[in-house]
Amino acid sequence: MSRADRTSRIEQEIEQNLKRAFDDVADQEVPSRLTDLLAQLRSKETDRSQQDAKDEGDANDS
């Protein structure tokens, strides 16, 4: 194999490996600490908006 052939083969493999390295991780199951985090953020927000709604209701009562 000539040097130029070898270089172009390596360049091709670089492109494939860049994609593969990325996709391998992107397709993995996401650790639960990250999905749990989203759930926590959501539930905090729900609590807060319920609290806001309640405060508003209290204000209207008076």
Partner 1 sequence: MTADPKDELVEHLGAMRAFAISLTRNTALADDMVQDAVVKAWSKIDSFQPGTNMRAWLFTILRNTYYSHHRKHRREVEDGEGNLTAGLAQKPDHDGRLQMRDFNQAFDQLTPEQREALTLVGAGGFSYEEAAEMCDVAVGTIKSRVNRGRAHLTEILELSDDDPLESTEAVTMGIVASNQGAL
Interaction site with partner 1 (CB under 8 A): 1, 6-7, 10-11, 13-28, 30-31, 33-35, 37-38, 41-42
Which residues are CB-contacts of 1 (< 8 A; sequence separation ≥ 6)? Answer: 9
In the bound complex, what is the minimum distance in angstroms from residue 17's beta carbon to partner 1?
A: 4
In the bound complex, what is the minimum distance in angstroms from residue 5's beta carbon to partner 1?
A: 11
Q: Helical H runs in 1-62?
A: 3-26, 32-61
In the bound complex, what is the minimum distance in angstroms from residue 51's beta carbon to partner 1?
A: 18
Rounded Cα distance, 38 and 45, in Å = 11
